[in-house]
């Protein structure tokens, strides 16, 4: 491979394993994503490194399990909130940092959620430009909600809008992304497109809601699908399909409660280390490079994207230790390649489970009465319904040793943990002003995710 590919990474928010047509949904029409899968490879065993957003995103950007970069927990809980003093340390190198060194134009459009202080913004982590919401869309001023500051929309490091029309933001994101692609058609580029959807509150365009068979959730999935179609049309229009790798995934599983989301056929949901919290869709398309119509069951994770991008772009690896492995051979069609031997399921600092190509061992669910070993055969029991630990003590012993080894490095007392970034006097990006002409001084949906 002589020419480094353009890379478009599309990352949804709380989209579940069973929410797309190509992954079995019968209620959410996703023709553009189904086409993406038909023209590329659909992965069945792809994992995010956390069942919630901040650690998931920090891990993907750096190629590290969350505890390694200090992203296992924060002052206010599992994720970062507005005005939080913590964020992704500038000592960490992201895939954007490494690709920018290789001459890539780099842009993030959408949700960041790795720290809203100036020192932690995307422009301090390898991205030339940023346009989006710095954290979850339920962290603005909302009906019956906590006293959050106004929801900000950033361009680079400047707040350019507050409490804006949330139903229109995906269209604004698509316009920004298409402009970036056009402006950089003659050089390699990295576009990280991080959707607002399907995180609550689900504020959606009326025309999509009118066509949805799955309420506001279905309309949000339709918006995601439309956005994908627009990006693909742009690549086709500019003749960039054969030198652009497109990846589509989600940051963690669906809440899968009453909003319409689905993790089927997986067990569990967002916030849990059952498969439904961390196993996600991954679709990869690169015309004439990635096999079309392929379904790949190779074990892989979002922390593997950084070393894969580095390999494809002929860039250098980070100076610090990472946990990801190069998936380029797998992407390009080598079904015998098995670069990842195991995968760890962290909930905050608690290493609750580990899996290999076939088996998953649970040693903790974070509940004292459920801390007995459980073993599941994920090849024959994807829904984690049958505990077979008593039948396979040798597998339990082997995976227990694997888990103990990872814990010694990355557990609460682990020897390889690194501190997250922190500022001494954090400030929110926006402050409520009664005189400001907000589009919505308070969003009228009470839903929070």
Which residue out of 12, 53, 114, 296 is catalytically annotated?
Answer: 53
Gap between the Cα atoms of 146 and 76, Å rounded: 13
Tell me whether residue 53 is one of the annotated catalytic residues: yes
**Which positions ≥6 away from 334 have C-beta within 8 Å?**
none
> CA–CA separation, 85 vs 67, rounded Å?
18
For the chain, the 3-state helix, strand and coil shares in percent, each to the nearest 5, are 30, 20, 50
Of 12, 32, 64, 113, the active-site residue reads 113
CA distance 56 to 72: 9
Task: Give the Cα-Cα-Cα angle 382, 51, 370 (nearest 5 degrees).
Answer: 65
Enclosing H/E stretch for 354? strand 350-355
For tokens 């390898």, name the residue.
Answer: 126
- Give one DSSP letter per residue of 11-28, joined into a string: EESS--TTSSGGGT-SSS
Helices (H) and strands (E) in the chain, counts: 10, 17
Sign of CA dihedral 150, 153, 157, 158: negative
Measured in degrees and rounded to the nearest 5, phi and psi for residue 430 equal -140, 155
Report yes or no: 361 and 400 within 8 Å, Cβ to Cβ: yes
- Alpha carbon 419 to its chain centroid, in Å, reads 22
Is 113 a known active-site residue? yes
DSSP secondary structure, 176-239, as one string: HHHHHHHHTTTS-EEEEEE--TTSSS----HHHHHH-SSHHHHHHHHHHHHHHHHHHHHHHHHT
Sign of CA dihedral 50, 54, 55, 57: positive
Q: What is the CA radius of gyration of the chain?
A: 21
Active site residues: 53, 113
């Amino acid at each position: 491979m002589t020419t480094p590919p353009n890379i478009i990474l599309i990352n949804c928010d709380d989209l579940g394993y069973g929410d797309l047509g190509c992954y079995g949904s019968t209620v959410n029409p996703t023709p553009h994503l189904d086409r993406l899968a038909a023209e590329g490879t659909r992965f069945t065993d792809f994992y995010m490194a956390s069942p919630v957003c901040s650690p998931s995103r920090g891990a993907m950007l750096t190629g590290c399990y969350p505890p390694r970069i200090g992203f296992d927990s924060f002052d206010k809980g599992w994720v970062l909130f507005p005005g939080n003093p913590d964020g992704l340390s500038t000592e960490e190198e992201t895939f954007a940092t490494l690709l920018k060194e290789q001459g890539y134009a780099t842009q993030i459009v959408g949700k960041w959620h790795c720290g809203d202080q100036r020192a932690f913004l995307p422009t301090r982590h390898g991205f030339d430009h940023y346009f989006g919401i710095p954290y979850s869309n339920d962290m603005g001023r909302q009906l019956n909600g906590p006293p959050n500051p106004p929801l900000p929309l950033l361009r680079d490091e400047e707040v350019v809008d507050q409490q804006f029309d949330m139903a229109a933001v995906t269209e604004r994101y698509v316009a920004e992304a298409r402009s970036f692609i056009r402006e950089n058609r003659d050089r390699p580029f990295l576009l990280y497109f991080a959707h607002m959807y399907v995180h609550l509150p689900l504020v959606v365009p009326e025309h999509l809601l009118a066509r949805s068979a799955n309420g506001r959730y279905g309309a949000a999935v339709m918006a995601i699908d439309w956005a994908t179609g627009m990006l693909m049309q742009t690549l086709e229009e500019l003749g960039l399909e054969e030198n652009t790798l497109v990846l589509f995934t989600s940051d963690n599983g669906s809440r899968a409660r009453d909003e319409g989301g689905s993790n089927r056929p997986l067990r569990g949901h967002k916030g849990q280390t059952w498969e439904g919290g961390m196993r996600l869709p991954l679709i990869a398309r690169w015309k004439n490079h990635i096999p079309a119509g392929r379904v790949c069951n190779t074990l892989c994770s979002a922390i593997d994207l950084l070393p894969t991008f580095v390999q494809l772009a002929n860039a250098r690896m980070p100076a610090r230790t990472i946990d990801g492995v190069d998936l380029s051979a797998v992407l390009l069609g080598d079904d015998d390649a098995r670069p990842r031997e195991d995968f760890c399921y962290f909930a905050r600092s608690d290493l609750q489970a580990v899996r290999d190509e076939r088996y998953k061992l649970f040693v903790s669910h974070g509940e004292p009465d459920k801390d007995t070993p459980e073993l599941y055969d994920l090849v024959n029991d994807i829904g984690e319904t049958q505990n077979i630990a008593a039948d396979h003590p040798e597998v339990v012993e082997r995976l227990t040793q694997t888990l103990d080894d990872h814990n010694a490095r990355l557990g609460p007392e682990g020897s390889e943990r690194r501190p997250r970034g922190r500022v001494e006097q954090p400030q929110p990006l926006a402050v409520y002003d009664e005189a400001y002409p907000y589009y919505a001084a308070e969003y009228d949906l009470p839903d929070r995710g």
